[in-house]
Structure 1
């Protein structure tokens, strides 16, 4: 990378983070920490975000579930199926609400049975190995490869062994912004603590052309 390219890339990253410097977990009202409740909430948000639906709808639906008291696996499991459907509906998550309500209940049951509702136990059983963590997460109903990527992309700030994680959608955003579409090169553009925020911002650039336009305008 020559000096001019490096300067341009850093200017692009700054413009992007100035406008889009927040994670999807934050959008769902989650204050992410390495403790059971926020980790579980990030998992729920990842399940919702992995569907073919607008990200804002998914984060609104997650917010409604949590506002209705379904903030941990036990409360999610103990809620009725209809209560889960109704909360998803209030977030306008209607296309997949019935199936998702079932999956959330089944997923909460699995996490309680296998890990006592604490995703840190999953991480410990995997000895912090990213591939083992992925394999274990794939057992959660409704959490496919895309959902696993979203969850790990969001929690890499508190589970650093999973990063730097810039998934396919983040790499697509990087390409649209003229940034290098290689995870190791993207990681070099921000501090380690900013990986999750940067990745989420790149995803927004992939999903919304207006983000790319605003970044370009900020640099002109």
Structure 2
């Protein structure tokens, strides 16, 4: 099997089995509207900590179920209510600090952006570096969290895509795929940029994902 054919098979298996975005896994129907964008930002915050992605996703759902779905409700909740919701999701190691950061971040979004991340998008004007910098002004969101947010929202904010961050490129390397965004996009075919990037991240985070895709691609040869 040629290298090109091999790469196509690996990417096909990766996307078929692991091409779900983390927002979708958290039951966020991502649209260019304030609430799902905010929930995706909070998810990026949670995912950026040194904790299992499955716990971050479960915690995102727990915050939603607790009614903490937008900056206003997040800031109106007491610190203890935020701690309790984080705990129900399993996010206990960082719950107290994260509860404080979510409250402060919600207030900053209200004060500076009217609680609407689309205003941040307008300010960035298509420049991913500017958007990354603006997102990082929120408490608790560093370079990793900013990259996760851009990775997840690029399908609804297409001017920032294709966005393939360092973690996604690490996944490509582990799978033996090119570390070139344009080449990866070509291999992904009809998959969205966010689906492709998320699938590659899953490969970076889990050796079993890599082994599964390589084995299935080999069997399909």
TM-score normalised by the chain length of structure 2: 0.95
Residue among 162, 167, 170 paired with 2:168: 170
What is residue 209 of structure 2 aligned with on the other side?
A: 211
1:181 is displaced (CA, Å) by 1.4
- 8 Å CA contact retained: 1:21, 1:201: yes
Question: Could you tell which deviates more after superposition, 187-196 or 210-219?
Answer: 187-196
Equivalent of residue 38 in structure 2, options 28, 37, 40: 40
Report what 1:179 is aligned to.
Answer: 177
> How far apart, in 1, do the equivalents of 2:3 and 2:189 lie?
19
Choose the corresponding residue for 1:129, options 124, 127, 130.
127
Post-superposition offset of 1:131:
1.6
Q: Equivalent residues in 2 for 1:87-102 (5 A)?
A: 87-102=85-100
Deviation per CA, 1:65-85, whole angstroms, max 9, x where unpaired?
011000111011111111111
Partner of 2:197: 199
Contact 1:157 1:193 in 2 (8 A): no
Aligned residue pair count: 218
2:68 & 2:80 partners in 1: Cα distance?
Answer: 13
Give the direction of change, closer, same or farther, for the CA distance of 1:13–1:193 in structure 2 (3 Å limit).
Answer: closer
* Aligned residue number for residue 72 of structure 1: 70
The whole-number CA distance in structure 2 between the counterparts of 1:180 and 1:128 is 26
What does 1:105-144 align with in structure 2 at a 5 Å threshold? Answer: 105-144=103-142
2: CA distance, partners of 1:201 / 1:33: 20
Cα offset for 1:107? 0.5
Kindly state the Cα deviation for residue 190 of structure 1 after the two structures are TM-superposed: 2.2
Give the match for residue 4 of structure 1: 2
* Distance (Å, rounded) in 2 between the aligned partners of 1:173 and 1:128: 26
* Residue of structure 2 equivalent to 1:16: 14
Q: TM-score, normalization: structure 1?
A: 0.95
Q: Encode CA deviations 1:191-217: one digit per residue, 9 max, x unaligned.
A: 476110111111111111110111122
Question: Whole-Å Cα distance in 2 between the matches of residues 128 and 112 of structure 1?
Answer: 22
Structure 1 Cα separation of the partners of residues 190 and 39 of structure 2: 23
Over the aligned positions, Cα root-mean-square deviation in angstroms equals: 1.3
Taking the aligned partners of 1:69 and 1:179, their CA distance within structure 2 comes to 41
